[in-house]
Structure 1
Amino acid sequence: MPEFPALPTARSTPHGEAPTALAADVAIVGGGPAGMTAALYLARFRRSVVLVDAQQSRLAAVPLSHNYPGFPQGIAGADLLGALRAQLTPYPVAWLHDTAQAAQRTDEGFVVRCASGTVRSRRLLLATGVRDIAPRAPHMRDALARGALRYCPVCDGYEVRDRTVGVYADGAAGVGEALFLRHFTPHVTLFLDGGSATLGPEDAGRLQQAGVRLAAGAVDAIDYRDGRITVTHGPARSTCDSLYCALGLQVHHGLALQLGAACGEDGYVRVDGHGATTVQGLYAAGDVAEGLNQVAVAAGNAAIAATAIHRSLLRGG
């Protein structure tokens, strides 16, 4: 087997310098847990890899994860990202610290364009993730860091067991989240942007049957103070130990759409069991693809996709 080709570590090009031009077997867009896991697997498969990392992983905002395997005391998202970067350090993965702006299919594979340069590759893996839609309220970053604002009951419903919990939503999607959280605590209130009148009688009945309180008035304000969140809804005010924001996600599927890959109505990139999209040679893993938005799932699916990519390259083309 030929020697593994070493590639340079590339960073954003300062103003006035020539743009970077890189080529590799595989380009990966996204430097979160899915992107870095895929890069690790592919590097160990002796594939040349360029990782385009805008350094905006959603994981960085997670205060403490208790359900990622191997960390009995939990691990902060930023620390997990740092550990993954350190694990990649011994391998000749080229890092391009930039935002991918465009991608196109070519006869040889793909071209990814960034402000600082271009990356040409035979295969392309999108690990661009999602962004939580945050409530428009002051001090939400601090509230998130302290566990007063939360986004993922699958991740941390256990942490709010028997506590006073609110769910903030702009429609019926909040019903499912409120019912999910009712398993962990009997003290759940659903707050709707437009008030309870915007909810149909069937959904209202499901909440009542489960013992979930439905706040009547429309949400006027959300305030964070002294470790708790207070929601003003009509003439009333309710205070919660934690408020789950269920306003949805922005799926970063722009590159997939540029390349003609199919996406679902929910915005997620459609993939098969090996992470392959509907475009030949294009793969997706992590939160941008269909599936459960969990770090462990992102890493596992990235490992599957990376292995499939390696095998496809062995077959040629």
Structure 2
Amino acid sequence: MSSSDDDYDIAVVGGGPAGLTTALYGTRLGHDTVLVDRGGGRAAMMADTHNVIGVTEETSGNEFLATGREQVESYGGTFERGFVTDVERTDDDRFRLAVDDDELLADRVVLATGFSDERPDPPLPRTGKGLHYCLHCDAYMFVDEPVYVMGHGEAAAHVAMIMLNVTDEVDLLTRGAEPTWSDETAAQLEAHPIDVVREDIVGVENDPDSGWLDALEFEDGTTREYRGGFPMYGSDYNTGLAKGLGCDLTEGGEIDVDDHGHTSVDGVYAVGDVTPGHNQVPVAMGQGAKAGLAIHKEIREFPRSKESIAREGPVDPAEVPAITPELAATAVTHEGHAGGPRAETDAETVAKTPRADDD
């Protein structure tokens, strides 16, 4: 267990849904955990939160993330605003993280560094009010509305066809670029009622009251009405730390992981959008939970192995519990603890509730 302010069992790099969930599990399972986040990120861009059970639409990404940080800290986890510039393995097989002008030590490192969407050239609609990056999050918003898909590659062509599941008005905007999709995709595209617009965009018209997109103006002088759409120009994965540690990457550029977030480097995990799979908040949270549990099983003190017992003898009663005094002190006063404030309030409520035979 860690013993100083800059010494941790688990260090999580990145404070999106995946990183927050990993830190939450690590902290609640009794491990000194630090979450380092530079701010921003894909989830912070969300004007509204979609597809997350228990979280309503009007919750913004920043509100969602702020609540997550508060939860981690309420259980005794440490949150630091900063940028991790380097991670290296130490001589004693731990990890040293360079955070701005400071350093942290940890037994395990979790990379939740995400990716950045490649933005097309302006002019563009406002992000969140006409320019959207997550098809499965935002397609519902455009049921029976005119929609564009922007791009000239395979992904753009397929997303345009996918959008026909929710609306009958879909245009594919190549913005003057020559299409790079395959002949097979071209034939498939021609069999769907989609207009391929090759002229570039020269202007954007927004609703003066709501700020939402009304229409796009093209270089041939035409104007087409749209409510929103999706640019498909690829992603830039934040894998610099993973490369420095020697982690394997996939052909697509993500960090290669198993089903519990293990990378090819012992002690290093990766979760969320920087790994393969659907870029969805609930998926990222599930990956964070899996990684948190996997790390717990690796580093928890008990049960001791048979080999350890044979070598060192039975567990001394003085060695338990393994949770640090600081985390224990936080736990016993937490509202989620069996003896915490909420439990006392619930007990008082039960005591005051009349039974059926009290009349």
When the two structures are superposed, what TM-score results if normalisation uses the length of structure 2? 0.77
- Equivalent-residue separation in structure 2 for 1:204 and 1:99 (angstroms): 44
Aligned counterpart, 2:254: 268
Corresponding residue to 1:188 among 170, 174, 183: 170
Query: 1 or 2, which has the higher strand percentage?
Result: 1
What amino acid sits opposite 1:87 in the alignment?
Q
Report if the CA contact (8 A) 1:62-1:78 is conserved: yes
Tell me the CA shift for residue 236 of structure 1: 4.3
Q: State the Cα distance separating 1:233 from its structure 2 match.
A: 5.3
Task: Kindly tell me the number of residue pairs found equivalent between the two proteins.
Answer: 296
Structure 1 counterpart of 2:113, one-letter code: T
SS of the equivalent of 2:127 reads: helix
Q: Indicate the residue corresponding to 1:280 in structure 2.
A: 266
Task: After superposing the two structures, state which structure 1 stretch, 250-259 or 196-205, moved more.
Answer: 196-205
Runs of 4+ in structure 1 over 6 Å off: 4-7
Structure 1 residues 164 and 139: alpha-carbon distance in aligned structure 2, compared to 1, 3 A threshold: closer
What is the aligned-residue RMSD (CA, Å)? 2.2
How far did residue 87 of structure 1 move?
1.4
In the alignment, structure 1 residue 302 sits paired with structure 2 residue 288: yes
In structure 2, the residue matched to 1:16 is: none
| Cα separation, partners in 2 of 1:157 and 1:5, compared to 1, 3 Å | same
1:210 to 161, 186, 192: 192
Contact preservation (8 Å) 1:207, 1:213:
no
Quick check: 188-197 or 208-217, which moved more?
188-197
Q: Which secondary structure state, in structure 2, belongs to the residue aligned with residue 243 of structure 1?
A: strand
Letter in 2 for 1:83: T
Match of 1:113 in 2: 98
Partner of 1:130: 115
Q: Which residue of 2 aligns with 1:242?
A: 228
TM-score normalised by L of structure 1: 0.86
Other-structure match for 1:12 = none
d(CA) in 2 for partners of 1:42, 1:133: 33
> Mapping of 1:19-30 within 5 angstroms?
22-30=6-14
Question: 1:242-279: per-residue Cα shift (whole Å, max 9, x none)?
Answer: 02111111111110111111111221111101110111
- Gap regions ≥5 residues in structure 1: 9-21
Change (3 A) 1:128 1:92: same
- Greater alpha carbon shift after TM alignment, 66-75 vs 165-174: 66-75
In 2, the alpha carbon distance for the partners of 1:224 and 1:277 equals 46
1:178/1:212 contact within 8 Å kept: yes
Q: Secondary structure at the match of 1:290?
A: coil
For residue 71 of structure 2, what is the aligned residue in structure 1? Answer: 87
Question: Could you tell me how far apart the structure 2 residues matched to 1:193 and 1:259 are?
Answer: 40
1:311 and 2:297 matched? yes
- Pair 1:225 & 2:210 matched: no
1:13-45 Cα deviation digits (max 9, x unpaired): xxxxxxxxx111111100111111111110011
Aligned with 2:81 (options 74, 97, 105): 97
2:46 is aligned to 62
Contact 1:216 1:234 in 2 (8 A): no
Letter in 1 for 2:196: L
Alignment partner, residue 36 of structure 1? 20
Aligned residues: percent identity? 31
Cα distance 1:198–1:285, how it changes in 2: closer, same or farther (>3 A)? closer
Look up the SS of the partner of 1:190 in the other structure: strand
Kept in 2: contact 1:197–1:216 (CA 8 A):
no
**Greater shift after overlay, 205-214 or 283-292?**
205-214
